[in-house]
Each structure stands twice: as structure tokens, then as C-alpha cells.
Amino acid sequence: MQAARASDGVAFASHVYYPANNPGHFFYLTDEITIQFDETLSEKSRSTIANFAGFKIVRQLEGIPNTFICEVAKQAAENPIKIANRLTRYPEVIIAEPNIIVETQQHYIPRDPLYPKQWYLNHKGGSQLAANSHIFAEPAWDITRGVRSIVIAIADDSVDTTHPDFQGQSKIIGPVDLKDNDLSPMPVEDTDNHGTSCAGVAVAEENGKGIAGVAPGCALMPIRTTGFVDDDSIEQLFNWAIDKGAAVISCSWGPSAIYYPLSLRQSAAITKAATQGRGGRGCVILFAAGNANRPVNGTINEKGWPANIVSGQTKWLSGFAVHPDVIAVSASTSLNKKAAYSNWGSSISICAPSNNAPPGTWLPETGPIATPPDITKYLPGLGVFTADRVGAAGYDAGDFTDSFGGTSSATPVVAGVAALMLSANPRLTAREVRTILEQTADKIVDSDPDPQFGNRLGTYDASNQRSDWFGYGKVNALKAVQAAVRKGGGNPNIGGARFNDISGHWAEKFVEALAAANIITGFPDGSFGPDLSLNRAQYASLLVRAFNPLPKAPATNFIDVSASFWARSAIERANRGGFLSGFPGLKFGPDRNLTKADAIVSLVNGLELKGGNADNLKVYTDRSQIPNYALNAVATATALKIVVNNPARDRLAPLREITRAEISALIYQALVARNRAKPIDSPYIVVV
């Protein structure tokens, strides 16, 4: 720094800063400070302060009295941040702000070719698209696109797990068919279409093939239900989801009954999942409000039904939607209005965008039936574009449909947002997730009368909290994820460790620190697997999250990394950033396990670390096992205190496959070496 400042060829030199616990963002300083002085201060006094602090006043800021743009002198003893901080202690200075540069960036946009059709995630306006009728997914994805350790269970008629948008390493977790008692939740009947579309909305993989779900990085647990609502079926469903590690359970269905209170066993099964699932933090459980344009709990004077199958003062009750541990989801349209079919009432928690259509229901005596009175007016609004059964089967002749909708579609939208929240903060309880969703919802308003009954329930109560049509409002993914991050540690009564298998482990502090920074994640059962091996594809993904590498060279087109491979983007970025190269024949070896020597060489090369010498290797009793290509890198890493050895600090074991715990320790120490993390006290860090 001193040499740079002394050079005639350097106009200004200063440090680069990054915010704590967020090493991927950098703040650059200019030589400018904006200062607002007290109005009583004379020009002579301003000049005295400027000379003493080491800056000169360049010009006055137009529009704000007594405010000036100032320039820090090259010979100043402090940088602009330190000068500004010191100036604020002067009673004559009202405000002192350094001019800080932050790089702009576009919000993350999936590379899936059909993503532009998914207006409900993010849109920039258009035909039948009201401003802000989407859920703001793109800015939320700048924080997280979801992690595999958070699993969304889609309980429905089936899920076509062969669909290209459900492919990816560890994408499918715990599949089951409760109807046929096997582990294949695939469609069987011609009408088994619903669950595939719901799964696409919530969790379709971002793999460049079709669409993207709300939480594309999360895992999918497809559960084919029995098709009946009874005590055994409900217990099976929720117990399976708990046992297999579901974090979110999305149910876009209800009983084929107008009045259906839950049995004691059914209610208890839901409460168990909501309180005991996810290691005691609770599964987030969502149910669709229904599509009959009726109250989830209320009375309607019914008339006009065929053969008077329903008539007179009729009590409507959806036992699942009114359960206190359930998030009941209603539907809004692409025009930010109530969907004509959407059920309503005091138990609605939140709404999400879906299509618009006449209301209807399904009764055993009639099958699908429109609920009267008939709606003759045009109902504007776009359909939901999502996954469909592969091939000619399904809603449309193809792998996707543009006509999905109902509260069936709104529910997995909210399920995906809940999964993003838990990806950002896995310590949230189910109750905290619900509270955040409700507190961060957008208060959309629909003052128009209902086209069937003429009621107006689209405004909010006196405290502006909730409405019967929209609950607490339309889900906002960005605000919800931001609030989840701010929430911090979640419920303090659930134990200390983030993972259930690292308490007391030698690498616990390193693993916890990286997990807190959202650099590493665990598995759906709450474990981290500290002693499991790590392959090169997994390592590439970890490198990208830890170091956000900038490109230094053209990418290699590896023949064994297909365009749809789950880690292709991470491999390309790690390769271009100088962290990872390939093998002869343009092969990368994504499934090849990483050795400790390979990991050290990768970190030293990618971070361009210097400073080692051969004498540093004398600390290792097994230094003869270090490959020639790794000698300089190991020496450099040792000098910088990056190497962490367990159980013996003097034994490197360079050719052994590295474990998840060891790579966590190495990466954390590399961040420390780059002044991007605070040192951790560990007896296993090698010191020369």
C-alpha cells in the first residue's frame, strides 16, 4: 500500500472491504468523501478541518445546503472510510460519507429455455400481467436457489420422476407409492397427471432443459397417495414424510365432501409432523384452500345445483385447511385479483399467483361439477406453465403444460418459497416460517365484487392485517427469504449443532462456520456426513459457493460433463477460475473422488497463493508420499496455515481421499488466509 501510494503512476490506493459473513461481495473505495457541515461553520473553519484531516474541498453538492464533495489527498494518513468515521465525531460535521463502489449485477435468471413462460415467478409486464403479480423469485434466488438438504414432499396422485426437470444428483429423495405399496410414485392411471405439475411448480431442477421451480436447488420427495382420506392413509403419508426427512409437505387436494371435519387421528398426524418433523423444528405443511368459491369454514344458501344435490343452508368445512398447523393457500391471478374459483375464509393464511377459471368441485355422485350460480362473464388471467407427464399422456401432448392452475398450483408456489427460506436458515421452526410468510406478504387488494355472490372480501381488516380472500396477502419470495436470513438462529430450544452428527467432531467449528455462511449444506436427515468422501463435481460446487471465482481462462469442454449434468455450471466456473483442470482426452472425472493433495493444489492454484518453500515440508513425517506436482502447493499451504491434519498434525496423508470434514477445514483456512474469515482455534492446524 505504501509503495503504491508513493508511486507517481498511482493516483489513489486503498483497501478493498467486504461485509462480515458475506465474503462474495466487495466494496471499493474512491478518493471522495461527501461532507455536510453545520450551517454555522465558516469557510475558514471548513478549510481548517480539511487541512487537518487530509482532504480538500472540491465543489458544493447542489440541492443540499452546506454539503461538499471532498477529495482525499494522496498523502493522507488514513483512507476515506477512516477519515469519514473520524469526521463524524466532530460536532461541526453532520454527515461524512465515503464514495463507495459496488459492482452491479443482474438478478439470477435460470438458463432453462421455457423459464420466460413462468410469469408467476418473475415478469416484466405484458398482456394480462399486472405489475408485481409475481412472487419476486429472481431477487430471492440471488440469496439462495435452494439446497438439497431441504426436501419438498409433493403428496399427490403421482409424480413422473422420469421428467427431465426432475433429474439431478440427489434430486429425488424418499419416493413412495402408498397406493400400490412400492417405491415407484409414477403415474398409473390416465388421470394421474396432477402431482407432476405441482412438483414442477415447486421444485423443477434448474438444468437448462425446460422450466425452473420456485426452489430449483431443493430435493423432491414424490409421494403417491392412496387416493382416499382415512386415518391410516393420512398417518402413512405424514409418517413417511417425517421419517424420510421432508422439510416441507405440499398437499394440493382435499376430501370429496362438502363438510369434512378431521378425525382425531388425522389431526394428530398433522400436528406430529408440524411439531416433531425435521428434528423437532417441524415440517411446514401446506394445503390448497379449494376451488369451489366457497368458505373453508362457513355456511352458504345453496341453490341451482343439478337435481338439488346440494340445496338450502349448507355448511362447508375443509378440515385440512382449518387445521391450526396448516398453511391454507388461496389463489390470485396474473392481474393481482382473486381467482374466481378460490375458496376463502378466516383460515386462509396466504395466497399465491395461479390461473383464473370458473369455480367447481368434485363429488362422488356427479364427478367434476361447476358450482352454481353460473358465471357468464369473461375471466381474465394467464394459466400456469409447468411440468406435465412425459410424452402424449398428461394435460397436453408434450412434457409441459400452460393451462395448470387452481389453488392446486398456488400451494406448491408457497411450498417452494418455504423451502427457500429453510435453505437460507434451516433453524427456523415451522411456526416461524408461517409467521414470516404472513408478515412479508404483499397486501394486494381486489375491491371488485365476486362474480358469483357479489361479496367484497378483497380488502383488509381495520388493522390492515388480513382479508378473507387473500389471507395476509400474496407471498413475496424475496421478502420472506430476507426475513428468514435476518431471523438468525431459529428456536434456541432445539440443540446447538446445525447437523446431528458433528457434535464433538474435530472439524465441528469449521463445518459450523461454513454452514452459517451458506457455503456448505448437509443431508435431508439432518446429518453432514463429515467422514464421507467428496468427488470432483461436489468439490466444484463447493468452490463456487466459497470463492465465487472470476474467469481467468477459456473453459474446457469436457466430454464427460453433459449439458444437463447437475454440476456443469460449477465445473465450468471452477475450471475457468483456475481451481480445477481435467485429465487427458478432455475428461474431467466428475465422479472421481478428490485426494487431499489434489484439494491443496486446487486451492493454492485457484487463489494464486504464494510464499512456500521446501523446508516447510519437514513438518510432515510422510512427506515422501507427496506427489511431485503437489510439493510447492503443499509448502505454500503449510506456510499460510491452510493445512489441517487429523488425528496427527504431522501426518498429511496426501494420497488418501479427502473427507467432507477435511475439505471444510481446508476451505475455511483458505478463507482465513485471504482475510475473509476469522481464525478458528484448532490443535490440528499445521504451524511451521
pLDDT tens string 622-633: 999 999 999 999
pLDDT band at 493 (very low <50, low <70, confident <90, very high): very low
Contacts for 415 with CB less than 8 Å, ≥ 6 apart: 152, 202, 214, 248, 249, 250, 284, 286
Q: Exposure string (b/e) for 609-646, b if CB count within 10 Å is 16 or more?
A: beebeeebbebbeebeebeeebbbbbbbbbbbbbbbbb
Pairing label, strands 259-260, 284-288:
unpaired
Does the pLDDT of residue 59 top 50, yes or no? Answer: yes
Q: Which of 630, 268, 656, 271 is nearest to 430 (CA)?
A: 271
Q: What integer is the mean pLDDT of 612-621?
A: 92
Dist CA 501 CA 521 (whole Å):
13
pLDDT band at 502 (very low <50, low <70, confident <90, very high): confident
Cα torsion 637, 640, 644, 645: sign: positive
Domain ranges of the chain: 2-101, 115-485, 508-673
Cβ(436)–Cβ(290) below 8 Å: no
- How would DSSP label each residue in 115-184? GGG-TTT----BTTB-TT-S--HHHHHTT-S--TTSEEEEEES---TTSGGG-STT-B-S-EETTTTBS-
pLDDT at 13: 83
Q: Which of 23, 14, 27, 26 is nearest to 676 (CA)?
A: 23
Give the amino acid at 596: K
pLDDT at 22: 54
Angstrom CA distances, 397 to 355, 391, 400, stand at 20, 6, 8
Dist CA 481 CA 596 (whole Å):
36
Among 86-95, 169-178, 471-480, 514-523, which stretch is predicted with the lowest mean pLDDT?
A: 514-523
pLDDT band at 462 (very low <50, low <70, confident <90, very high): confident
pLDDT at 499: 76
Dist CA 38 CA 46 (whole Å):
10
pLDDT at 490: 34
The number of residues in the chain equals 688
pLDDT at 627: 95
CATH of 2-101, one of 2.60.120.380, 3.30.1490.20, 3.30.70.80, 1.20.1050.10: 3.30.70.80
Say which of 123, 134, 163, 194 is annotated catalytic: 194
Bridge partners for 4 per DSSP:
none
| pLDDT tens-digit series, residues 223-250 | 999 999 999 999 999 999 999 999 999 9
Active site residue 408: yes
Phi, psi of 538 (to 5 degrees): -60, -40
pLDDT band at 564 (very low <50, low <70, confident <90, very high): confident
Among 336-345, 561-570, 635-644, which stretch is predicted with the lowest mean pLDDT?
A: 561-570
pLDDT at 494: 29
Q: What integer is the mean pLDDT of 559-565?
A: 84
Say which of 112, 156, 160, 388 is annotated catalytic: 156
Cβ(145)–Cβ(108) below 8 Å: yes
Q: What integer is the mean pLDDT of 477-506?
A: 70
Cβ(69)–Cβ(50) below 8 Å: no
The chain-wide mean pLDDT, for the chain, equals 91
CATH of 115-485, one of 2.60.40.10, 3.30.360.10, 3.40.50.200, 3.30.565.10: 3.40.50.200
Q: What integer is the mean pLDDT of 121-125?
A: 95
Would the CATH topology of 2-101 be identical to that of 115-485? no
pLDDT at 205: 95
pLDDT at 54: 87
| pLDDT tens-digit series, residues 644-680 | 999 999 999 999 999 999 999 999 999 999 888 889 9
Residue 249 CA to its chain's centroid (Å): 16
C-alpha cell at 116: 420466460
Give the amino acid at 277: G
pLDDT at 525: 62
Bridge partners for 328 per DSSP:
287, 348
246 vs 15, residue with greater confidence: 246
Q: Which of 413, 450, 461 is nearest to 338 (CA)?
A: 450
pLDDT at 380: 97
557 vs 385, residue with greater confidence: 385
Does the pLDDT of residue 105 top 70, yes or no? Answer: no
Does the pLDDT of residue 491 top 50, yes or no? Answer: no
pLDDT band at 479 (very low <50, low <70, confident <90, very high): very high
551 vs 217, residue with greater confidence: 217
pLDDT band at 16 (very low <50, low <70, confident <90, very high): confident
Does the pLDDT of residue 60 top 90, yes or no? Answer: yes
Give the amino acid at 372: P
Say which of 332, 354, 408, 423 is annotated catalytic: 408
Active site residue 374: no
